[in-house]
Amino acid sequence: MTRMTGRVALCTAVSLGALGAAGTAHAQGFYLQEQSVRAQGRAFSGEAADTGVESIWWNPASIAGMEGGEASLHASAILPRGKVRDENTLIVRPGTAPASVGGDPVAKDPINTGVLPSGAIAYGFGKFAFGLAVSAPYNFTTDYSEDSWARYTADKTELRTIDIQPTVAVELAPGIHLGAGLNVQHAKAELSNYLPNLSAALPDGHQRLKGDGWNTGWSVGAQMHRGPVSLGLAYKSAIKHKLDGTLTNSGLLGPLAGQNMEVATSATFSTPWQAIGSVRYRATPELTLNFQAVRVGWSEFDSIDLGAPINTSIPEGYRDIWSLAGGFDYALDPKLTVRGGIQYGQTPTRDGHRDARVPDSDRLNFSAGASYAATRNLTVDFAASYISFEDAPIDRTTASYAGTPVQTPILVDGTLTDASALVFSLGARMTF
């Protein structure tokens, strides 16, 4: 590796930490779980054990035993809030004492609002059923101002994914269902941050990485339905993503001016696996109780690996986590069902490894919803959620130009405070 290429590679370590930022909106890590309005209404507490197209994402066995067709379409409006506050972040330029990073000390609502669409369709022939789900499980945008205290570790970060899951399921025996699906994902990312010039009197430079790519994973699941009890187990594989694109540096002055360039490169990282277990119990003809536990393998996101000519790896330090949820469905009459639930989710980020791109924390999700059978073949679903986040430190130390004579450490010391999110969803299901 040449000296110049080495410098470019190590500058990139600042920007590429961005890929872990989505969880600030309302879900663990950068996974968005709003793939069903019915599921959201009970806080995602029984999905692997439920049946129909609404549960394909969680368990491909959910469509086994179907007769005829079913389709669903839904959208979720996501409204996150929060403050990412500087406490005492310092920059150490070569040959100088540590100094305040400066800039606006409070970034208010850096996570953009958005609308998340999804849908599914399936057709069953009794024993066998075939389905297709289209979802957007990893999507987010964070946007800090150019004078934010976080500018050297986070500017604008955007990740978009589309997951296409063709599914096949079979009823082996009455009440015994198996299913499998292929998860074909397209990911597109654009990540940027500012770069400090060697003199505080000079304006900042800028760096942007962008790329996209197609990659695949798989899902399997099983269900057992016996009397009032339904059990579901499912597993979704990790997916190794490779994004091909470019890295662009601009605005660097003086001795750093030679690093203003655009180079073609790639970034490789893995999204996590999920192991899901659910139970649904029909306590009365009207009332069904739900519980779901999910183990998420976020340790798969242990690093971001950059290809040629960068050829370096940036550690992320994520941990495996639990999500636990309980909820209910209650049929008020043949047309109207109401539901509610509570979900607790851990954050995969850890103290000492959390930066302004990943202001994530443990959270509680309080949800309610309803379904109304408008006609014999059409059901409309509504759901609303309030998610409360714990305060958490923003404390991942990094450095621009690391390992070179002009290494410039950024000693990050901040806090995530007053974070919450509202999610409103509307969907419809149709049989045919």
Q: What is the pLDDT of residues 274-290, one digit of tens each?
A: 999 999 999 999 999 99
Confidence of residue 18 (pLDDT cuts 50, 70, 90): very low
Q: What is the pLDDT of residues 291-309, one digit of tens each?
A: 999 999 999 998 888 899 9
Contacts 24+ apart (CB under 8 A), 234-238: 234/48, 234/58, 234/59, 234/60, 234/61, 234/274, 234/275, 234/276, 235/273, 235/274, 235/275, 235/276, 236/183, 236/273, 236/274, 236/276, 237/183, 237/273, 238/270, 238/271, 238/272, 238/273, 238/297, 238/300
Q: What is the pLDDT of residues 167-177, one digit of tens each?
A: 999 999 999 99
Q: Which domain holds residue 414?
A: 3-431
347, 317 in Cβ contact below 8 A? no
Query: pLDDT tens, 358-407?
Result: 789 999 999 999 999 999 999 999 999 999 999 999 999 999 998 899 99
* φ, ψ at 428 (rounded to 5°): -145, 145
Report angle CA 25, 321, 88 to the nearest 5 degrees.
Answer: 55
A 10 A CB-CB count for 403 gives 12
Query: For residue 16, is pLDDT > 80?
Result: no
| pLDDT score for 127 | 93
Q: Which is higher by pLDDT, 4 or 301? A: 301
Q: Into how many domains does the chain fold?
A: 1
CA 70 – CA 430 distance, rounded (Å): 6
Q: Is it the case that residue 212 has pLDDT exceeding 70?
A: yes
163, β-bridge pairs: 135, 185
SS3 content of the chain, % helix, strand, coil (to 5): 10, 55, 35
Q: Phi then psi for 214, rounded to 5 degrees?
A: -105, 140
pLDDT of residue 402: 87
Q: Is residue 261 predicted with pLDDT exceeding 70?
A: yes
Domain of residue 225, CATH code: 2.40.160.60
CA distance 67 to 63: 9
**Is a pLDDT exceeding 70 seen at residue 20?**
no
Q: Which of 287, 357, 305 is nearest to 20 (CA)?
A: 357
